[in-house]
Amino acid sequence: MEQSIENKLIKADEAFSEWKKVPFEERQKLIAKAAAILKKNSEKFGEIITKEMNKPISQAISEVEKSALMMNYYADAENILKSEKIESEYAISEIHYVPKGVILGVMPWNFPFWQVLRFATPAILAGNTVVLKHASICFGSGNSIEDVFVEAGFPKGVFQNLEVGHKEVKEILEYDAVKGVSLTGSGKAGGEVAATAGLNIKKSLLELGGSDAFIVLDDADLDEAAKAGALARLQNCGQTCVAAKRFIIEKKVEFDFLPKFIEEYKKYVAGDPMNKDTKLGGMARPDLADDLEKQYKKAIDNGAEVLIPLERISDTEFKPGLINVKEGNPILQEELFGPLGMVMIAKNDDEALQMANDIPFGLSNSVWTKDKERQLFFIEGLESGTVNINRMTSSDPRFPFGGTKASGYGTELSLLALKEFVTPKTIIGN
């Protein structure tokens, strides 16, 4: 390990020894200051995001503002980590929540501020310190986030950005002072990190891929569903783990819904990401665009019908595509991370549910129906961390976020996230 990296890990560990003693309410005050700095500088930070990964500037600014909103949620949150007294026959019977120490964050490029702060904020509020390994194209975002923590008055070492590659992650996670890891990324990366954490008996939290279903039934508001569906697929150029990727349409409304959906879909035209009116930018890197084209060809070679062709217009830009896919197509077992959507037609609710669940992933799903009994059928039957009724998926600081199956494990957001990187210590005595 490079001495400069080890020095930062030592610094994080030293900072932890003091930070864990700081009262919860004092930590919250600093988080509120950081949120104010983010909000005040949202345009500046938004430009950094856009330059790094091509996100339309309006969406990049919104990402920074949403991060500030989330931090304010935690700045005002109830302290669920205070010692709990348990009724028992003992004179002393309590649970204390003890922070674990230095936590490594391995974060992706698609939401360079949000993903980092979504993990780091509750971890730091719980008394831990954080070191960040950001995506290689997002070192500017990582350094800017560290600057925000410093400017807000956090002790040096509480949050540090490490400019390292994937090869260094294993060595950092094996370092004794590092007590846990949170990763948002691919299943392959998650498996490798979880294996290292497991071998070293360290806590891991994984937020991995998804292939979310957007289910439209015959009693849905088709106009609203079509508009929301296009946004749910193409926001952030489709590079979102919880983006709608499979549109499961009840056969009764196939010919009513699809024209509306296609009309909304075609409104997304790639443009200059620095223009505030642009809704669709390019993908983050040319190699990612190459991968999407290969998946598109694979789907067609296995029988997919083209509804709107996926057309590449530059190294990273596309005219968004839409394909009709039947069960058995191997593309359904993969995650499409870009502006390409899949349509499937279901005979009834049972078949729609079976289609939705017949994938390795289990992150979030959206169901469009006005009928309460049908809503309950899907709420109980869908295998995912979140079910949305008559709305597209979007995370909210107040509610837990996480998946099941190959989409990972552990909880981000909500008060529950405060307990991810703490140890409940039982105290019993007379």
Q: Report the candidate in 172, 162, 50 with the shortest Cα–Cα distance to residue 113.
A: 50
Q: Name the segment(s) of the chain with CATH classification 3.40.605.10.
A: 3-208+407-429
> What was the pLDDT predicted at 50?
98
> What was the pLDDT predicted at 321?
98
Task: Write the pLDDT tens digit of every residue in 372-394.
Answer: 999 999 999 999 999 999 999 99
Q: How much is the average pLDDT of 123-152? A: 98
The token pair that represents 289 in the structure block: 């665009």
Q: Name the segment(s) of the chain with CATH classification 3.40.309.10.
A: 212-389
Please give the single-letter amino acid code of residue 62: S
Q: What is the distance between the alpha carbons of residues 34 and 101, in angstroms, rounded to a whole number?
A: 21
The dihedral sign for the CA sequence 311, 317, 323, 328: positive
Q: What is the distance between the alpha carbons of residues 331 and 311, in angstroms, rounded to a whole number?
A: 18
Task: Write the pLDDT tens digit of every residue in 287-309.
Answer: 999 999 999 999 999 999 999 99
Is 241 among the catalytic positions? yes
Q: How much is the average pLDDT of 20-46? A: 98
Q: Report yes or no on whether pTM surpasses 0.85.
A: yes
Task: Write the pLDDT tens digit of every residue in 251-297.
Answer: 999 999 999 999 999 999 999 999 999 999 999 999 999 999 999 99
Residues 6+ apart with CB under 8 A from 78: 415
pLDDT band for 338, please (50, 70, 90 cuts).
very high
Q: Report the candidate in 369, 370, 350, 329 with the shortest Cα–Cα distance to residue 246.
A: 329
Fold of 212-389: Aldehyde Dehydrogenase; Chain A, domain 2 (3.40.309)
| β-strand partners of 306 | 323
> What was the pLDDT predicted at 378?
98
Q: What is the distance between the alpha carbons of residues 128 and 182, in angstroms, rounded to a whole number?
A: 13
Is the per-residue pLDDT at 330 higher than 90? Answer: yes
**Paired sense of beta strands 178-184 and 102-106, if any:** parallel
Task: Write the pLDDT tens digit of every residue in 398-409.
Answer: 999 999 999 999
Q: How much is the average pLDDT of 160-182? A: 97
- From the candidates 52, 63, 192, 207, which is the catalytic residue? 207
**SS3 assignment, position 319:** strand
Residue with the two structure tokens 């980092």: 116
The length of the chain is 430
Fold of 3-208+407-429: Aldehyde Dehydrogenase; Chain A, domain 1 (3.40.605)
Q: What is the distance between the alpha carbons of residues 123 and 130, in angstroms, rounded to a whole number?
A: 8
* Mean pLDDT for all residues in the chain: 97
Q: Is 131 exposed, middle or buried (0-12, 13-18, 19+ CB in 10 A)?
A: buried
* 255 Cα distance to chain centroid: 33
Please give the single-letter amino acid code of residue 56: P
263, 296 Cβ separation under 8 angstroms:
no
232, 244 Cβ separation under 8 angstroms:
yes
Q: How much is the average pLDDT of 328-346? A: 97
Is 207 among the catalytic positions? yes
Task: Write the pLDDT tens digit of every residue in 209-243.
Answer: 999 999 999 999 999 999 999 999 999 999 999 99
134, 116 Cβ separation under 8 angstroms:
yes
pLDDT band for 1, please (50, 70, 90 cuts).
confident
296, 306 Cβ separation under 8 angstroms:
no
pLDDT band for 201, please (50, 70, 90 cuts).
very high
- From the candidates 138, 237, 241, 264, which is the catalytic residue? 241
Task: Write the pLDDT tens digit of every residue in 48-66.
Answer: 999 999 999 999 999 999 9
